Amino acid sequence: MKGHEPLIHMRMYGKAPQAVFIEDHKSLNAHDWHLYTDIPCINVEGDELHNIDLRFCVGLIVQISSFSEVRAKTLLTIAKQSKARVITSCVLIPNAPHWKQTGWSEIYTS
C-alpha cells in the first residue's frame, strides 16, 4: 500500500478529507498526494487484499477503481467493513476513454 501514511497522520490529528481515492492500478499520485492536495490517493496495486487495513476510511467517502472485478468487489467489501460512509467501486477498462467505460460498478451508502 502506498500513500496511506499521510492519511493516517491526518486522521490522528482529527482531520477528515473530503474523499479518498483507492487505486488498484498504476498511480501517479499515491506517493506524493499530500504535497499538493488534501484529498488522499492510496495505491494498492499488487497488494494481497486478505490482509489490507482500511480503517482510516471510517466515516469517509471512498472511491475505488481497479482493472479487476474480483479485486474491486473485494475492496468494496473491505471498505464497508471499515465503516466508510459512501463508497463507489468500479472496474476500469484499460485504454478506454471515460465515456466508453463499460465495466462493473456499485455505489454503497451506510
Mean pLDDT to the nearest integer, 86-109: 92
| Among the listed residues 16, 15, 19, 24, the one whose alpha carbon sits nearest the alpha carbon of residue 76 | 24
| Among the listed residues 62, 67, 92, the one whose alpha carbon sits nearest the alpha carbon of residue 77 | 62
DSSP 3-state of 63: strand
- Predicted TM-score (pTM) above 0.85: yes
Domain ranges of the chain: 4-109
Cell of 7: 492519511
pLDDT in tens, 2-61: 999 999 999 999 999 999 999 999 988 899 999 999 999 999 999 999 999 999 999 999
pLDDT in tens, 67-88: 999 999 999 999 999 999 999 9
